[in-house]
Amino acid sequence: MTATEPRTDSAEQKVSLPTLTAMVVGSMIGSGVFLLPRRFGTETGVLGALIAWTIAGTGMLMLAFVFQRLAVRKPDLNAGIFTYAKAGFGDYIGFNSAIGYWASACAGNTSYWVLITTTLSAVVPGFGSGDTILAVAVSTIGVWSFAALVMRGVRDAAVINYIVTVAKVLPILVFIVIALVAFEAGVFSDNFWGDAGGYSFASVWDQATGTMLITVFVFLGIEGAAVYSRMARRREDVGKATVFGFLGVLGVFAMVTLVSYGVLPQDELAGVAQPSMASVLESIVGPWGAVFIKVGVIVSVLGAYLAWTLMAAEVLFIPAKSDDMPRFLARTNRHDAPVTALVMAAALTTLLLVALLFAADALDFMLDLTAALSLIPYLLAAAYALKLTATRETYEDRRSLVPDMVIAAVATVYTLFLVYAAGIDKLLLSCILYAPAAALYVKARRERGLRVFRPAEAVLFGVILIGAVAGVVSLATGAIEI
C-alpha cells in the first residue's frame, strides 16, 4: 500500500518516459510487498499464485486506466476519489465513498503500526504480534505523536522520500537476487498445486480467491499513479508509463511471491513470522538477512508515515471544504494543518488499534480490513467510468468510446468480484463503520439547509444500518471472528 501523491506545479516538472515510469513504480510499491510470502503461503501454492496475480494484474491495470481516463475526461473532479461516486450516483453514495476511503486509510495506518511492532518483537518480545497491550500502547503514542507533528506544520521532505524509496526498493532487489540463487526446483515443484490442491483446479481456484485481499492491499494507492499523467513531457508517454510501470510493479510482486516457493515448502512459508520476506531471507543467509529486511521495513514505514497521517486527514478535510462533510472538519490551525480532521483520523486509528487486542491475527485482519474498505470507493469509480461511456458523456469523439467501455466494464466486474471474494463478514464489518458515519452526513446536509435523504438514499441507509446491526450481533455471538 502507498499513500503519497505527487504535487505538480508547473511545466518545468515535465519528465521523460523512463523517469515517468520510474515515478509510477516508486509510487506503487509499498510495505505490503514484505508480507507476500507468508500471505500466499497461507492460502495457496504456485499455480494459485499465478492465477491470483493474473487476475489482480489484469483487473488493477484496468482500474489504473479508469483513473487515468477519469483524470483526463473529468479534470474538474479533482477533490478525491469520492467525487466520482458523487457525480455518478448522488451525494449520499459519494459521501459513503469518502467514508470508505477514509476508513481504509486509517485501517492502513493501523496496519503499519502492527507491522512495526511485529518487526521489532525480536528486540522487544512484549510487542508479540502487534496485538499486546504494550504494542497497542506504543502504537497509540506513535499515532498521536505523528498527528502532533503534522499539526505543527511538519511535512514530508524530498530527502526523506529518497531515503524511503531506497529503504524499500534495495531490500526487495537483494531478496529477489539471493532467492533466485538459492532457488530449488524440487521445492518449487512440490509447492505447485498447494497443500490443499490435490491436483484439483476447483481447489486451486478457491486458493487463489483467498489471496485477493492481499493483492488489493499491495496495489492500494494505484489511483495516485494517474496524477503523474500531468507530468508527462509527451501525451503519448502517459499510457506507456502506466503500462510499463504497472507491469514492472506486478513483476516485482509476482517474483517475490514465486521465488519464495522455491526456497521453503508451503507449510513452512505459512508459518514464518512477519515480515515474511525477512524470514525467508534468513532461512537462506542467516540472521543478517532478517535484520537487513527489517531495517528496510522500519525505515520505509516510519519515513513515509508523515505523509500517510496527512493523507488520512485530508480524505475528510477536502470534502469538508466543498460542504460534503461537516464544516468543523475543514478547520485549520495557524500552521495550515487540518487539525480537526487529523484528530478524527488519529481517533479512528486508535480505536482500531484497541480492537486488535481481540484479534486472532492482528496483522492479517487489518490488512484485509484495509483492502475491503477500499473496494466500494474503487467499485463506484469504475462504475462511474462505465456510466460515462454508456451515456456518451464527454465522448464527442467516438473513437475511444468502445476501448474505454471495455476497460471500465472489466474494472467494474473485477471490483465486484473482489467484493465477493472479500466475503460477507468483511462487508458487515464495513457496515459497522459506515452506519454511524451517517451522522456526519446528516450534519453536513443540515448545515447547508438541504433535505437529508432522498427516498432511495433512505433505503440505502436502512440497508447499511441493518448490515451494521447484523455485524455487531455476529461479533457478539462469535459468528464473525476478527
C-beta of residue 425 within 8 angstroms of C-beta of residue 474: yes
Tell me the C-alpha distance between 301 and 274, whole Å: 14
Mean pLDDT for 150-171 is: 75
pLDDT at residue number 150: 87
Query: What SS3 string covers 145-210?
Result: HHHHHHHCCCCCCHHHHHHHHHHHHHHHHHHHHHHHHCCCHHHHHHCCCCCCCCCCHHHHHHHHHC
Alpha carbons 466 and 169: distance in angstroms, whole number: 45
pLDDT tens track for 182-207: 999 999 999 988 765 566 677 888 88
Taking the model in full, what pTM does it have? 0.88
**Closest listed residue to residue 94, CA positions, set 345, 418, 435, 457:** 457
Q: Tell me the mean pLDDT in the region 368-381.
A: 93
Positive/negative CA dihedral, 71, 73, 76, 81? negative
Give the whole-angstrom CA distance, residue 7 versus residue 448. Answer: 31
Cβ contacts of 349 within 8 Å, gap of 6 or more: 106, 109, 110, 113, 143, 312
Mean predicted lDDT score pLDDT of the chain: 87
Average pLDDT over residues 102-127: 92
What's at 383, amino acid-wise?
A
Q: What are the C-alpha distances in Å from 168 to residues 163, 257, 295?
A: 9, 16, 10
pLDDT at residue 4 tops 50: no
Burial 321-350 (b: 16+ CB within 10 A, else e): eeebbbeebbeeeeeebbbbbbbbbbebbb
**What is the arithmetic mean of pLDDT over 436-449?**
93
Task: Identify the pLDDT of residue 310.
Answer: 84
The confidence band for 304, taking pLDDT boundaries of 50, 70 and 90, is: confident
Residue 373 C-beta-side C-alpha neighbours within 13 Å: 24
User: Each residue of 14-52: pLDDT tens digit?
Assistant: 667 777 777 677 667 778 899 999 999 999 999 999 999
What pLDDT does residue 1 have? 62
Q: CA separation (Å) from 304 to 17, 109, 301, 349?
A: 25, 11, 5, 16
pLDDT greater at residue 393 or residue 139: 139
Q: What's residue 199's pLDDT?
A: 65
State the Cα–Cα distance between residues 188 and 193, nearest whole angstrom. 10
Report the interhelical angle of 36-43 vs 212-219 (nearest 10°): 160
Using alpha carbons only, how large is the chain's radius of gyration in Å?
22
Residue 156 has pLDDT above 70, yes or no: no
Q: Indicate the length of the chain as a whole number.
A: 482
Task: Give me the mean pLDDT over the 321-346 stretch.
Answer: 91
CA atoms within 13 A on the CB side of 172: 26
Res. 165: pLDDT tops 80: no
Give tens-digit pLDDT for 226-238: 555 556 677 666 6
Give yes or no for a contact between 219 and 60, defined as CB atoms under 8 angstroms apart: yes
- Location of C-alpha cell 464489518: 429
Question: In whole angstroms, what separates CA 281 from the centre of its chain?
Answer: 25
% pLDDT > 90, the chain? 57
What are the chain's domains?
Answer: 17-426 (1.20.1740.10)
Region of 243 (left: φ > 0; alpha: ψ -120 to 50; beta: rest) is alpha
Least confident stretch, 277-286, 308-317, 378-387: 308-317
24 with 245: CB under 8 angstroms? yes
Residue 5 has what pLDDT? Answer: 45
**Cα–Cα dist 140/297, whole Å:** 19
**What are the residues facing 47 on neighbouring strands?**
none
User: Mean of the pLDDT values across residues 355-379?
Assistant: 91
pLDDT of residue 159: 66
